[in-house]
Amino acid sequence: MTLTLPAPAKLNLFLHVTGRRSDGYHTLQTLFTLLDHGDTLHFAAADTLTLDSPGVAGAPQDNLVWRAATRLREHTGCQRGAQIRVVKRLPAGGGVGGGSSDAATTLLGLNRLWSLGLSLPELAAIGLTLGADVPVFVHGRSAFAEGIGEQLSFVDLPPQWYLVVHPGVSVATAQIFSDRELTRNTPVSTVAAFLEPATRTAFRNDCEPVARRLFPVIDAALSWLEKHAGESHMTGTGACIFAPVTDRQHGETLLAALPPHWKGFVARSQNLSPLHEALAASHSDNS
Ligand SMILES: C[C@@](CO)(OP(=O)(O)O)[C@H](O)COP(=O)(O)OP(=O)(O)OC[C@H]1O[C@@H](n2ccc(N)nc2=O)[C@H](O)[C@@H]1O
Ligand SMILES: Nc1ncnc2c1ncn2[C@@H]1O[C@H](COP(=O)(O)OP(=O)(O)O)[C@@H](O)[C@H]1O
């Protein structure tokens, strides 16, 4: 049996840091939307576990795909293997959640390949041990997140096209959260206030001023995008920035005008993850 599944990108439409817990982790309020652009993972049944993941730096056993697969085997006692191949499109340390999304796709893909029958909440709980953003990709729905990002309330957002720009630097999440100047006391708000046009300008990404100061290229890219596309934000702890655009054509026109040292992509938001759509389609193919 083989399976080919997407690992979509996410955007944090806003990100407020509301406090810091005694273990050092920060409490957040953030709105996740999923995009129709991302990595692709190929799974094939095999006797042993192997991973081919070109373009991801570091030791293979640190790859979140490998860690998700071994964590799933430990959790279930399953001894089966798989050949996994990752086609990487999302920039690592880009704030678009590529590694977390790869991990979630691995959990759902192997759950199917190995016929484990774990529920989404069970897979999300395993995912949370790998990273704060994995559960939202496991559930595969746009969501308002609180706590350290694991308390999810699913929301339906109007579909929207975005231009996403990668300024060419990789940002370590811990570097932003350890910065002395990070705003850590944004008042707690509600998702309803974000969805209400009259109050929406009050929302922002608290990590953005820190990232702009530490990485001048993020500052330059945001200034470029604000000038050419209007309202623009950083996603997560960076480095990618994004702006809503009217349609694909509008996004492609701006993309073509980007300074040559920056890359980007145009994508549309989806309330249901492309991963869940693909799993549903492959289920009906195999039944
Ligand atoms: C803040 C977000 C928003 O999407 O940023 P991005 O990583 O997407 O840019 C994520 O939730 C990040 O999740 P993730 O990237 O999985 O972070 P983790 O590996 O769990 O944490 C890396 C480090 O960042 C710090 N950290 C992370 C999350 C958090 N809520 N508070 C923190 O203080 C901790 O020092 C932690 O050791
Ligand atoms: N499959 C993977 N894809 C991308 N990064 C990975 C992967 N596995 C491990 N990593 C590590 O996780 C870090 C965060 O990756 P990623 O989720 O892409 O960033 P972000 O959370 O900023 O969107 C990377 O810098 C990299 O060291």
Q: What ipTM describes this predicted complex?
A: 0.96
> Which residues have CB under 6 Å of ligand 1?
12, 24-26, 28, 30, 95, 97, 100, 131-133, 148-149, 173-174, 177, 236-237
β-strands 49-52, 81-87 pairing = parallel
Query: Does 263 participate in catalysis according to the annotation?
Result: no
What per-residue confidence (pLDDT) applies to 105?
98
DSSP H helical ranges for 49-169: 64-76, 98-113, 120-128, 134-139
What per-residue confidence (pLDDT) applies to 284?
59
What per-residue confidence (pLDDT) applies to 75?
97
Of the candidates 175, 178, 203, 176, which has an alpha carbon nearest to the alpha carbon of residue 189?
Answer: 203
Q: What's the CATH code of the domain at 16?
A: 3.30.230.10
Q: What are phi and psi of 122, to 5 degrees?
A: -65, -45
| Domain containing residue 51 | 1-286
CA of 90 to the centre of ligand 2 (A): 9
Name the residue with the closest Cα to ligand 1, atom 12: 132
Q: Copy the structure tokens of residue 54.
A: 């070109």
CA of 1 to the centre of ligand 1 (A): 35
CA quadruple 108, 241, 232, 173: dihedral, nearest 10: 80
Identify which ligand lies nearest to the alpha carbon of 68: 2
What per-residue confidence (pLDDT) applies to 287?
46
What per-residue confidence (pLDDT) applies to 195?
76
What per-residue confidence (pLDDT) applies to 17?
97
Helices 98-113 and 120-128: angle between axes, nearest 10 degrees = 140
Per-residue pLDDT of the chain (287 residues; tens, 9 = 90+): 899 999 999 999 999 999 999 999 999 999 999 999 999 999 999 999 999 999 999 999 999 999 999 999 999 999 999 999 999 999 998 999 999 999 999 999 999 999 999 999 999 999 999 999 999 999 999 999 999 988 999 999 999 999 999 999 999 999 999 999 999 999 998 878 877 877 776 779 999 999 999 999 999 999 999 999 999 999 999 999 999 999 999 999 999 999 988 999 999 999 999 999 999 998 755 54
CA of 114 to the centre of ligand 1 (A): 30
What per-residue confidence (pLDDT) applies to 201?
65
What per-residue confidence (pLDDT) applies to 51?
97
On whether 109 is known to bind a ligand per the annotation, the reply is: no
- How many domains are there within the chain? 1
